[in-house]
Amino acid sequence: MNPSALELKIRLRFKNRRLLEQALAHPSYLNELQDDPGPEESYERLEFLGDSVLGLVITLELYKRHSDLTEGDLTKLRASLVRSRTLAGVARRLELGQHLNLGKGEESTGGRDRDSNLADAFEALTGANFLDKGFDAATQFVLGTMREEIESIMDDGVPEDPKSRLQELIQRTGGPTPSYRLVKSGGPDHHKSFSVEVVMDGRVIGTGHGKRKLDAEKQAASEALGHLESSAGV
Residues catalogued as catalytic: 51, 123
Q: CA nearest 24: which of 132, 127, 136?
A: 127
Instruction: Map residue 27 onto helix, strand or coil.
Output: helix
Looking at residue 13, its amino acid is R
d(CA 181, CA 196): 6
Closest alpha carbon to 39 in 101, 125, 94, 98: 101
By C-alpha distance, which of 34, 48, 68 is closest to 187? 48
**In terms of DSSP H, where are the helices of the chain?**
5-10, 17-23, 27-33, 44-65, 71-82, 84-93, 104-108, 115-133, 135-145, 147-156, 162-173, 213-232
- Is 197 in contact with 204 (CB distance < 8 Å)? yes
Specify the amino acid at residue 81. L
Adjacency order of strands within the sheet including 193-200: 179-186, 193-200, 203-210
